[in-house]
Structure 1
């Protein structure tokens, strides 16, 4: 029987293409921007872009949380309910960004601070920040539309629209740099492309939703904001912990070891990126099956995808063990004082993270994350102080890798405990089911007859 790609595999392709586009642009953009803008202006460009990255949290996690709700209500044919959730999201994004625009206008008009910008004038900076805020608004609305594509099992279409317009954006930015257009024009290009991207998504999804004031429900919006807090707090906590670790290393071991740690972490994080693509791709299907109350298929999807992930991690460990160190040393060069123990311990911790994150994605996709978030924040803060004391006492960089192995292992065990409770599995059934799937390496979840 002829096999056809199902939505999961299409999502994997779309997410993979996006990762390749992002990585390629990061590799080619740095020398281009430095060459055509100069180091000082490029530094100020990065500051403006850093503000845009900060604004990615302006949705307070509501898009991720309500994406699950929209899918669940759609598969249950509760069209009024999922239209209400969607309209609430749009209303919320408009309100938040209106407030942001007012704050930007007041600060830039009446503040005497130059914010450290020397090449970009304050007037131009004001316009740039306004465009960045508008870009954030459009980005959040696009993500809300992606929730519609998820609900109708066509997420890959939304992702591929993003991929297409990202390629166009990159091409126009490169041409803009070559022809020497202003920074304002470059940011305007990004805004224009995002506007076109938004209209394209609206045209392709408009028959699946209704925009109207009658669908706005402030009470439900408040409830959704309350539920979205874990989706907002956890990424912020992860970022804070990551920066905190770098801060500790810099204080006790020096900036050279900051470079050593970050380059090793970046190198071994390739497996996190690969597994993350799989997780993002199965997320919509998890939510859809949960909405349909199809527990058997949901568990089957878990064991099939978990088997795939564990074999991918095993291959990664073997590959890194055989060739990783030599490739890493070649990548960073001879000038850096590298640490082999830190390299392999960070490899192991990254592998454990991938295993644990598989359980977490099956909790995130059904909005069961309050206990996980609470545990993560308390556990991470305690771990952070333990690491501080450990490095202060030992002044040895390799302890960082050992610390992360223990950290990821404890958190992974907690995640699987929560998974077993939520999905009503016991340890013995879990082991037997995984063993059965692992023997035949079943990847049929990516295909359909």
Structure 2
């Protein structure tokens, strides 16, 4: 998985029933997860605006954005190890998969504890409330909210180890469904607390409490369903993860780039224009991201099967999965994008009960950015399945950082939120061309695999 290349086709152009069944189950689970995400996003905005008001809700968005960077605390190993384990299971190397699993668990748990300790210290020392223009919360409240939200992210990070185990054993769909249900419970509970008069601190405590229960419970389910994976660190060795270092760091880079592009832009808007502008940007970005979320149900379902086929040396199936995934994704994104173009204004007015005014310039640029993201996201998902995403990840980080700078300058110069959308489109075009060229070559569309 880390250095070998499939040497040829070992099957016909048809996808066998077992692979197709897992893809369909994965697609169904991802579709359900996306529906849950959409419900959370669409329902959450009017509920929290009503319960907390625009200022306090904007401050929640700002605080909740900060800990997302800690989702990178596993250094990208969870995704790479999951794909490596899937390839090993595909060729019957169960002992190798177990060794990688236990090594991953030791690494992630250790990094989560270290990350929590570091953040506790930083939050206690830095004047974050002043830097982020938070006026509704005391310094003590800001610190406690951030500590709890950080703890939630790190506990959830440990669930990435569970996901690698389910994924490697062909049970990807089950874990996706469990994760979606957990998120739904988390969000609905928070809405109830907010409507009952509770503030941000109680909401943050609820967030971490849900995952403190869910993560160990899901681990127990994994070991019961798939006894080939056992808890403990007996087989854990640093050497088991050394071959995954480069793709893991590439995954880390992709996560960083996504955080810069999504949450980083939100923080740029907050720094230049304040919490009210953050709400407008967040609402329109959430709506236009429906284009991207729709294709995630397809690409994520394909990814484990691409990894399995790659591990088996089935180059023909690898190519078929890539092309079909790309074609379906583009068709779906085009349909959703056209619908949003004509109905976006009505949706925003209905969704927010008129509390958020449509910024047409920003909306159209964000919609274009979402579609350009779709053009290359299937390619990046394909590269991740093969653990061959190193070069595109480096380029994505550079482009995303440049995009933040461009957005900041445009906002300072024009004081128009549309500048953020322009910056996002520039990033997507720059990354997209390179990602598509690399994926086409690796899939065999250029007659050979790159090593």
TM-score, structure 2 normalization = 0.75
Partner of 1:357: 377
Please identify, of 163-172 and 87-96, the stretch whose mean Cα deviation from structure 2 is larger.
163-172
CA distance in 2, matches of 1:107, 1:255: 23
Correspondences of 1:179-198 after superposition (within 5 Å): 183=202, 186=206, 187-188=208-209, 190-198=211-219
> Which residue of structure 1 lines up, in the alignment, with residue 225 of structure 2?
204
Q: Gaps spanning 5+ residues in structure 1: where?
A: 430-449
Greater displacement, 306-315 / 323-332:
323-332
Contact 1:268/1:347, CA 8 A, preserved across alignment: yes
2:157 aligned to which of 140, 159, 170: 140
Name whichever of 284-293 and 135-144 sits farther off. 135-144
Q: Please tell me whether residue 373 in structure 1 is matched to residue 393 in structure 2.
A: yes
Task: Note the C-alpha offset of 1:92.
Answer: 1.0
Q: In 1, Cα distance between the equivalents of 2:440 and 2:81?
A: 24
Does 2:286 match 1:266? yes
75, 83, 107: which one aligns with 2:98: 83
Q: For residues 354 and 194 of structure 2, what CA distance do their matches in structure 1 show? A: 33
Per the TM alignment, residue 274 of structure 1 is displaced from its structure 2 partner at its CA by: 0.7
Output one character per residue of 1:293-337: Cα deviation in whole Å (capped at 9) or x when no partner. Answer: 111112111222222112112212332343334434554676766
Q: Distance in 1 between matches of 2:50 and 2:273?
A: 33
Provide the residue aligned with 1:310 in structure 2.
330
Distance in 1, matches of 2:423 and 2:332, equals 24
CA contact (8 A) 1:284 1:365 kept: yes
Work out the number of aligned pairs and report it. Answer: 420
| Alignment partners' CA distance in 2, 1:358 and 1:170 | 29
The answer for the alignment partner of 2:26 in structure 1 is 11
1:420 equivalent in structure 2: 440
Superposed counterparts of 1:328-343, under 5 Å: 328=348, 331=351, 338-343=358-363
Aligned equivalent of 1:292, options 297, 312, 325: 312
Residue equivalent to 1:74: 89
| CA displacement at 1:238 relative to structure 2 | 3.0
2:259 to 239, 252, 255: 239
1:112-146 Cα offsets, whole Å, 9 max, x none, are 99987759789x959x958964x556533432222
Give the C-alpha shift of residue 14 in structure 1. Answer: 1.6
Q: Using a 3 Å threshold, how does the CA distance of structure 1 residues 179 and 112 change in structure 2: closer, same or farther? A: same
Query: Which residue does 2:167 correspond to in 1?
Result: 150
Q: Judge conservation of contact 2:223–2:229 (CA < 8 Å) in 1.
A: no
**Are 1:410 and 2:425 an aligned pair?**
no
Report the CA distance shift for 1:254/1:45 in structure 2 as closer, same or farther (over 3 A): closer
CA drift at 1:86: 0.4
Counterpart of 1:368 in 2: which secondary structure?
A: coil
CA offsets per residue over residues 150-207 of structure 1, 9 Å max, x none? 12222112222334444555666677779999949745454234333332333222x1
Q: 2:354 & 2:402 partners in 1: Cα distance? A: 36
1:277 to 297, 305, 310: 297
Residue 92 of structure 1 pairs with residue 89 of structure 2: no
Is contact 2:81-2:100 (8 Å) kept? yes
Maintained 8 Å contact 1:162/1:197: no
Residue 36 (structure 2) aligned to one of 21, 27, 30 = 21
Whether 1:57 aligns to 2:72 is: yes
Per the alignment, in what secondary structure is the counterpart of residue 6 of structure 1?
helix
Question: Equivalents in 1 of 2:205, 2:269: separation in Å?
Answer: 40
Other-structure match for 1:440: none
Cα deviation for residue 346 of structure 1 reads: 2.9
> Does the CA contact (< 8 Å) of 2:87 and 2:312 recur in 1?
yes
Stretches of structure 2 that go unaligned for 5 or more consecutive residues are 1-16, 130-136
Which region of structure 1 is more displaced relative to structure 2, 341-350 or 355-364?
A: 341-350
Q: How far apart are 1:98 and its partner, in Å?
A: 3.8
Q: Alpha-carbon deviations, 1:351-384, whole Å to 9, x = none?
A: 1210111111111111111111222233344455
State the distance in 1 between where 2:59 and 2:387 align: 39
Aligned to 2:238: 218
The equivalent residue for 1:442 is none
Q: Are the structure 2 counterparts of residues 172 and 233 from structure 1 closer, same or farther at C-alpha, using a change threshold of 3 Å?
A: same
User: Cα 1:349–1:152, aligned 2, differ >3 Å: closer, same or farther?
Assistant: same
Please say if residues 62 and 228 of structure 1, whose CA atoms lie closer than 8 Å, have aligned partners that are also in contact. yes
Query: Corresponding residue for 2:176?
Result: 159
Query: How far is 1:398 from its partner?
Result: 4.8
Match for residue 3 of structure 2? none
RMSD: 4.4
> The residue matched to 2:73 in structure 1 has which SS?
helix
Rg bigger for which structure? 1
Matched-pair contact (CA < 8 Å) for 1:342–1:400: yes
